[in-house]
Amino acid sequence: MNPTHRARAALSMVIAGILPLTGAGAVTAVAAPPAAPVSATPPEAGSAPDHPTALAHAVRAAAADAAPPAASDGTVHRDLDQALADLVDDGALAVTARVDAEGFSWSGARGVRELRGHSRARTTDRFRVASVTKMMIATLVLQEVENGTWSLDTSTEDVLPGALPRDVTIEQLLSHTSGAPTANDQLTRDHMTDPDDIDEYLSVVGDHYSEADHIRAAHTAPWVLEPGSGFSYSNAGFVTLGMMLEKVTGRSLDDLLEERVFDPAGMSDSDYPEQPGTPGRFLIGAAYTGAEGKGWYSTEHLDPTLFRAAGSVTSTTADLAAFADALVTGDLLRPGTVAEMLTPRSAVGYGFGIVRVPDPCVPGEYLYGHDGGGVGTMSVVLTSADGERVVTAGITGRNYSADPDALYELGDLLVPLFEATC
């Protein structure tokens, strides 16, 4: 196998596993070294392709082999267009993607906007970014730290007594080292008669989930790790941060994001919806359940209160690229705060609302960003530390069947996107 193919194979193998880090209802725990004991045994982290460190491991393995495309920009554009078409041919409902690099820019879209619809997807269409929202919530939290409202050691009990069953710090919540459960699985189970029924699950994601529901779920679901002892991905932790922000500022997250993230970053097509609905140019999610369910479901009815501050933002690839650039170049936070945000707090490479992976194009450097695995959607944003190279993507049509090969492989898209930035 030649070097380019080895790089592609390694990246493809692991990028296919990026989404379980943030998938709805997933619980991933990575314990600290033995010197830091925990009070309970965490859940299994899962097989290697699904482990949150898998992306970093494969990118690191491929970094030495990755090389700039030898083809002209025109050929690279055509290859990227074909990658989108292939993803749709393999079962994606729609895909929109963007690459911004020094001397190179491309965007494309394929598929249709909704299940059984005919309107073609466009590069300007919005989609649910899911857990990419966490980068934006972390930005708001760190702005409060810069303003002196909080410190990283501020505890949940100082701001929102009783929100969580354990007293944990803002730093632990931002870095997923609080040990809090993700709690979304508990939320939906509380609304279901049969927690194993995928059809019922895809129905109750349209229910409204109040702040009280989220607090109750966080208290009901088993605590995963002793606070500070390791990494455990937690949607409940970011929902708590969102409630803390609203309490201390007296303003809604929608207003805070608009004023302090969207507007200064130039994100004119982004929103933090608090009601179901997909108005305007929107790529509506869809779920494939295979033999375990009734086939394809539209997730147009999804109520964003299921995820709240952990994953409710809607955006476009252009807006996500603008956000990534504004974040790392200091338009939203001071340079020192950005550096602290990007610094990993655990072995999986997760900092404050952002994860880093080795840069396959520049040995010794990293890409920073987040993925999002929502109900019927996927999203990714990764940027170089200087904001000069950014990859963003949004995909609708997600596989919920027992057959992992029923639909497309995400790596078939992300690998050529990454390669185009080299």
Residue 300: band (very low, low, confident or very high) from pLDDT cuts 50, 70, 90: very high
| β-pair type (355-358, 366-374) | antiparallel
Residue 326: band (very low, low, confident or very high) from pLDDT cuts 50, 70, 90: very high
| CATH number for 177 | 3.40.710.10
Q: Is the pLDDT of residue 355 over 80?
A: yes
Q: Is the pLDDT of residue 361 over 90?
A: no
Residue 8: band (very low, low, confident or very high) from pLDDT cuts 50, 70, 90: low
**% of the chain beyond a pLDDT of 70:** 83
CA distance 367 to 377: 22
pLDDT at 415: 84
Residue 252: band (very low, low, confident or very high) from pLDDT cuts 50, 70, 90: very high
What's the mean pLDDT when you consider all of the chain?
86
* Higher local confidence (pLDDT), 63 or 138: 138
Flag the least confident range among 12-16, 100-104, 283-287, 299-303. Answer: 12-16
Beta bridge partners of 120: 112
Kindly report, residue by residue over 117-151, the tens digit of the pLDDT: 999 999 999 999 999 999 999 999 999 999 999 99
pLDDT at 422: 87
Flag the least confident range among 62-66, 249-253, 345-349, 409-413. Answer: 62-66
Rounded alpha-carbon distances, angstroms, from residue 383 to 94, 325, 415: 23, 7, 14
* Mean pLDDT within 51-73: 48
pLDDT at 50: 36
Kindly report, residue by residue over 149-160, the tens digit of the pLDDT: 999 999 999 999
Flag the least confident range among 43-52, 67-76, 134-143, 275-284. Answer: 43-52
- Whose CA is closest to 258, among 243, 245, 271? 271
**% of the chain beyond a pLDDT of 90:** 73
Reported pTM: 0.89
| Buried residues in 300-335 as b, exposed as e (16+ CB within 10 A) | bbbbbbbbbbbbbbbbbbbbbbbbbbbbbbeebbee
* Mean pLDDT within 229-239: 95
* Mean pLDDT within 342-355: 94
Cα Dmax for the chain: 59
Kindly report, residue by residue over 308-323, the tens digit of the pLDDT: 999 999 999 999 999 9
- Assigned token pair, 348: 């999986």
DSSP for 243-308, please give it: HHHHHHHSS-HHHHHIIIIIHHHT-TT-B---SS---SSB---EEE-GGGTTSEEE-TT--GGGTG
pLDDT at 30: 52
The residue range of the domain holding 91 is: 3-420
pLDDT at 70: 56
* Mean pLDDT within 162-189: 95
Rounded alpha-carbon distances, angstroms, from residue 339 to 49, 171, 333, 351: 29, 14, 10, 10
The count of structural domains within the chain is: 1
pLDDT at 71: 59
CA distance 357 to 342: 11
pLDDT at 15: 44
Are the beta carbons of 135 and 327 closer than 8 angstroms? yes
* Mean pLDDT within 321-347: 97
Residue 94: band (very low, low, confident or very high) from pLDDT cuts 50, 70, 90: very high
